[in-house]
Structure 1
Amino acid sequence: MSTADSPERPPPRIEGPPPRILVLQAPYYRAVIEGMRRGADALLAAVGAEVETAEVAGAFELPGALRLALKAPRGRRWDGFLVLGCVVKGETDHYDHICREACRGVMDIAVETGVPIGFGLLTVHSLAQAEARSRPEDRHNKGAEAANALLMQLALARRWGVA
């Protein structure tokens, strides 16, 4: 979603019991993730979600942790997942590889399993860009946008009887 063009959306109506959400976060840029998290938490609280959190080493580990959560004996108890991370471009190709593989990994899991996933991985060229997208009071907080996308997917899954 483009920050400049994205409309402000209220959280969708979630039928059934309060959703159980697992947030997987890569806290390498802790202040950025905390800002995104505050934005996401406000939206999740608005629908009465029960939230659990797990931290991973970095953005590259997000898809692997998501896969582990789905395989864990209690992994299916979550109704949806929110992944949060931030990768800032440096001087080498490392940024390109990490961004591509983290994005592909999460998308592969989403398509393969159909599980509702909110994707909040910032891929930016500067820390200032990340900070601008993680301000909790900003209506374009990317954590809140990812949480809203997750809730929209979950609402559809419940409406269609697949959640």
Structure 2
Amino acid sequence: MKVLEGMLKADGLKLAIVVSRFNEFITNKLLGGAEDAIRRTGGSLDDVTLTWVPGAFEIPLAAKKLAESGKYDAVIALGAVIRGATPHFEYVCAEAAKGVAQASMGSGVPVAFGILTTE
């Protein structure tokens, strides 16, 4: 059997991170975790471009533009959507997930999905 498996190495990679400002008390922690993971796998934060967007709904467009720029080996999408009393939660979660997947598939650049959808 042939097994294809990625390596957990970030050294030499140019990365972009897109983070939503909404629910910043959570997204700041997600950003800190991403930065820590990059450092622990040999990457340098000097090779990272950080982009802030208003909310999770805006993440896919920013991720798409960054992925299509040709400047990055991968993009990391970080956000947090918390359920409220309206169906808005369902729309935002579904569109953010679909948009991030489309950004990756359309560009051929990996876009990691780090958007929490919580109660």
TM category (shorter chain) comes to: 0.7 to 0.9
- TM-score, normalised via structure 2 length: 0.84
The equivalent residue for 1:33 is: 27
Match of 1:13 among 9, 31, 34: 9
More strand by share: 2
Q: Which runs of 5+ in 2 are unaligned?
A: 1-6
- The aligned amino acid for 2:9 is R
Tell me, in whole angstroms, the C-alpha distance in 1 between the residues paired with 2:85 and 2:97. Answer: 20
Tell me, in whole angstroms, the C-alpha distance in 2 between the residues paired with 1:96 and 1:123. Answer: 9
Q: Is 1:53 aligned to 2:46, yes or no? A: no
More helix by share: 1
Tell me, in whole angstroms, the C-alpha distance in 1 between the residues paired with 2:48 and 2:19. Answer: 13
Note the alpha carbon deviations across 1:5-61, whole angstroms, 9 max, x for none.
xxxxxx7135xx611111000021112111111111111012224211010111000
The equivalent residue for 1:147 is: none
Q: Which runs of 5+ in 1 are unaligned?
A: 1-10, 126-163
- TM-score, normalised via structure 1 length: 0.63
Match of 1:94 among 69, 88, 91: 88
- The aligned amino acid for 1:32 is I
